[in-house]
Amino acid sequence: MNTSTNLFDTLTPLLERNNILTTAAEVQGMFCGMLGGGMPLECQDWLEPLADFIHQSEMFSKEVDEAFKSLFDSTCQQLVENDFALVLCLPDDSAPINERGQALLNWVHGFMLGFGLHQDDLTGCSADVKEALEDFAEIARMDDEMSENEESEQALFEVMEYVRVTAMLCFNELGKSPEQQQSEPKTVH
């Protein structure tokens, strides 16, 4: 079992217990969107926007705060590894297909929201990133029930893989590692 599945399984009931109306998938999607949109990896300013969007601007409990930090840290680590290590925070493969599909849609919604918070000028983006964002908008609109069959399983797997690779593409193009931050010229105001 992978780390993100474990985080999904522990974070989802934690969010429910704390009356937070979102999913672990959507939270990780927001993190990936923020980072893929150019938020520096070492930035810790994500907690307040996250609270604004998913908890009516209320602060999170210490337990939720720590769980989010763990998810953020593991997501950052996976994004910077060179072997396409990002694992989407989704239900286990044994979960019903529509539950996994809905979690993927939540992940994509979160990504689009997080990306928009940190990237509002797409003119400098490659055609691949622009196309990927258009694809994400299409994926986010999918809401058809899926049949429990091999064809649907294969289709869901392919979309999940596309989303995973696309998130890494955005991060690789627009994301900022600590090394990139240090090499950028500092502006004085």
**164-182: average pLDDT:** 77
Q: What percent of the chain has pLDDT over 70?
A: 89
Q: How far apart are CA 5 and CA 10, in angstroms?
A: 9
For the chain, the average pLDDT equals 84
* Contact indicator for 37, 118 with CB cutoff of 8 Å: yes
pLDDT value at 147 more than 50: yes
Q: Domains in the chain, ordered, with CATH?
A: 3-175 (1.20.120.740)
- pLDDT for position 188: 38
pLDDT of amino acid 51: 81
pLDDT above 60 (res 12):
yes
Q: Is the pLDDT of residue 189 over 50?
A: no
